[in-house]
Structure 1
Amino acid sequence: MAVEKIKKLGNIMIFTLIMIYYIEGLILLVLLMLCFSILQIKHGRRLLKRIWMHLTLSALSYLFPKPIFICYNPKIMNKSKNIIISNHLSEFDWLMILTSLIRLERFKNICIVLKDSLQSIPLLGYGMKYFGYIFLNRRIEVDREIIKTGIERLKDNGNFDLLIFPEGTYLDSESIQVTKKYIKKNPCLIDGRDFVPSEVLLPHVTGFDIIRESLNGNADGVIDITLLINPYKKYPQDFYTYLKCLTDFQDRINFVIFLDYVEDFNDVDFIFRKFKEKDHMIKKYKKLEIGEIKSQEEFMIVAKKLEKHTKDCVFDAIFIQSDWSPFFYVFFIFLNLLGLYIAKK
Structure 2
Amino acid sequence: MNLTKKRFILLLVTILSIVAPSTVRITTENASIPKGTIFMNHQQGRLMSKAHPNAVVIANHQIYTDWVFLWWLAYVSDLAGSVYIMLKKSLASIPLLGTGMKNYNFIFMNRKWDQDKINLANKLDEMDLNARGVGRINGNSPISGTEQGKYVWDESKVQNTDNKWPYWFILFPEGTNLSAGTRAKNKEFAEKSGLSSFQHVLLPRTTGLQFCLQKLQKSCDFVYDVTIAYSGVKANEYGQDIYRLGNILLKGKAPKLVDIYVRAIKLEDIPLYDNDKFHDWLFQVWKEKDELLDKYYKTESFQLDPELNYSVTGPCKVSILSVASILLFPVLTLLPILYLLSKKVGVF
Taking structure 2 as the reference length, what is the TM-score of the superposition? 0.71
1:49 corresponds to which residue? 5
Q: How does 1:193-342 map to 2 (within 5 A)?
A: 195-216=196-217, 218-233=219-234, 234-245=237-248, 248-249=251-252, 251-254=253-256, 255-263=258-266, 264-266=269-271, 267-268=277-278, 269-288=280-299, 290=300, 302-303=301-302, 306-307=303-304, 309-311=306-308, 313-323=310-320, 324-326=322-324, 328=326
Q: Give the SS at the match of 2:18.
A: coil
- The CA deviation string for residues 57-102 of structure 1, in whole angstroms up to 9 with x for no partner, is 2222222212111113545735332111000010111111111222
Unaligned runs of 5+ in 2: 38-49, 132-165, 272-276
2:83 corresponds to which residue? 110
Is 1:170 aligned to 2:172, yes or no? no
Q: CA deviation at 1:252?
A: 2.1
Q: Write the letter of the residue equivalent to 1:64.
A: A
Q: CA deviation at 1:310?
A: 4.2
1:183 corresponds to which residue? 190
Moved more, 161-170 or 310-319: 310-319
Q: How many residues align?
A: 279
Q: CA deviation at 1:332?
A: 7.0
Cα separation, 1, equivalents of 2:11 and 2:246: 23
Percent identity between matched residues is 26
Is 1:79 aligned to 2:29, yes or no? no
The change in CA–CA distance for 1:310 and 1:153 in structure 2 (over 3 A counts) is farther
The change in CA–CA distance for 1:216 and 1:240 in structure 2 (over 3 A counts) is closer
Q: Give the SS at the match of 2:180.
A: coil
- The CA deviation string for residues 8-61 of structure 1, in whole angstroms up to 9 with x for no partner, is xxxxxxxxxxxxxxxxxxxxxxxxxxxxxxxxxxxxx22211222222222222
Cα separation, 2, equivalents of 1:246 and 1:312: 33
Cα separation, 2, equivalents of 1:206 and 1:132: 21
The change in CA–CA distance for 1:243 and 1:126 in structure 2 (over 3 A counts) is closer
Q: CA deviation at 1:106?
A: 3.8
Unaligned runs of 5+ in 1: 1-44, 189-194, 291-301
Counterpart contact for 1:70–1:318, Cα < 8 Å: no
CA RMSD of the aligned region, Å?
Answer: 2.9
Counterpart contact for 1:84–1:223, Cα < 8 Å: yes
